[in-house]
Amino acid sequence: MPSREMIGRVLSTGSATVSAEHIAEFARALGDPNPLYLDTEAARRGPYGTIVAPPTYPIAFMTQAMAGGMDTFLELGLDFMTLVHGEQEFEYARPVRAGETLTLVGRIADVYEKTGSSGTLDFVVLETEARDAEGTVFLSRNTLISRRR
Amino acid sequence: MAALAAAAVAVGLEFPPLVKGPITPEELKAYAAASGDPNPMHTDDEFARNAGYPGVFAHGMLSMGWLGQFLVQAAGVGSIRRFRARFVKLTWPGEVISCRGRVTHVTDEGGERLVECEVWSENQEGERKVTGNALLVLPRR
């Protein structure tokens, strides 16, 4: 069962370099034609001087930021058959830029439960933080919900 | 980019809707690959049926991505300071999804206008799938 003592536990740290090609693949998968995501020339003339990423692009870092967390996930004891992505939150200092290298930290930001007429639901909030030399670039919080057996 | 003029923003202002779909299974495969989400629930019909669903369904983050496109279309790249979504109902292949939203609160802070908005996606019957909110920051000029 998820325990509040697990709040703050770091699952992994690492870094990732952002490529213009991957940003373009992500934007195309959304069907988003914004030239600041896709067109090097347009992006050079734009407000950031380079290709930038769509607002939900930080989700693509999640797998890496949570890698190494498998033991913790088992310890959380979530029922994978009922696990759903219930909520998502992002905070941004600025858009992610092509070519930059970000430091990533994955951690458990919160653990709580809610009990209603249909039983108890466990909530686990996984947080990915990306930093550059100046500080936090984005925070991504992924709320997973599972029904307690 | 169609940047929103801070002076034109008022509570109740609705942003121009963004319409997506009909959603195809190929689109879900492309999003799975681009986002690095390995969950077969979105790409393998048999897997989804074995789990008790009628078939594959869209990633919540695909719908949130469309809401992100909708917000950027309205306010410009780099305008979003905070963005939240709740995945209320599943979104299915074949559905046509409209992204909608409106301004709920406006405050000025220094040279910036802070714009709170509610956003949601709904299908062709008006059933809400994803609901959320965002904080946009616009220069006051």
Residues of B in contact with A127 (CB under 8 A): none
- How far apart, in Å, are the Cα atoms of B103 and each of B10, B114, B134? 7, 10, 9
CB contact under 8 A, A30 and B61: no
pLDDT at A7: 94
pLDDT surpassing 50 at residue B4: yes
Question: Which CATH fold would you assign to the domain A4-18+52-147?
Answer: Thiol Ester Dehydrase; Chain A (3.10.129)
pLDDT at A123: 93
CB contact under 8 A, A29 and B31: yes
Better-predicted residue by pLDDT, A75 or A44: A44
Tell me which of B19, B47, B69 to substitute to probe the interface with A (most A C-beta atoms closer than 10 Å): B69
Residues of B in contact with A84 (CB under 8 A): 87
Q: Indicate the residue of B30, B38, B81 with minimum beta-carbon distance to A92.
A: B81
Nearest to B69 by CA among B128, B139, B1: B1
| pLDDT tens digit sequence for A49-81 | 999 999 999 999 988 887 777 777 778 877 777
- Residue B3 banded pLDDT, cuts 50, 70, 90: low
- Rounded to 5 degrees, what are φ and ψ at B40? -70, -10
CB contact under 8 A, B33 and A25: yes
- Residue B112 banded pLDDT, cuts 50, 70, 90: very high
pLDDT surpassing 80 at residue A2: no
Residues of A in contact with B66 (CB under 8 A): 30-31
Instruction: Provide the token pair at A95.
Output: 């858009």
SS3 string of chain B?
CCCCCHHHCCCCCECCCEEECCCCHHHHHHHHHHHCCCCHHHCCHHHHHHCCCCCCCCCHHHHHHHHHHHHHHHHCCCCEEEEEEEECCCCCCCCCEEEEEEEEEEEEECCEEEEEEEEEEECCCCCEEEEEEEEEEEECC
Which amino acid is it at B15?
F
What are the structural domains, with CATH classification, of chain B? 6-23+58-139 (3.10.129.10), 24-57 (no CATH)
| pLDDT tens digit sequence for B121-132 | 999 999 999 999
pLDDT at B93: 98
How does the average pLDDT of chain B come out, rounded?
95
pLDDT at B1: 46
Name the pTM for this structure. Answer: 0.95
Residue given tokens 């001087």 in the structure block: A49
- Rounded to 5 degrees, what are φ and ψ at A101? -110, 125
* Beta carbons of B98 and B49 less than 8 angstroms apart: no
| pLDDT tens digit sequence for A70-116 | 777 778 877 777 788 999 999 999 999 999 999 999 999 999 999 99
- Is residue B11 within 8 angstroms of chain A, CB to CB? no
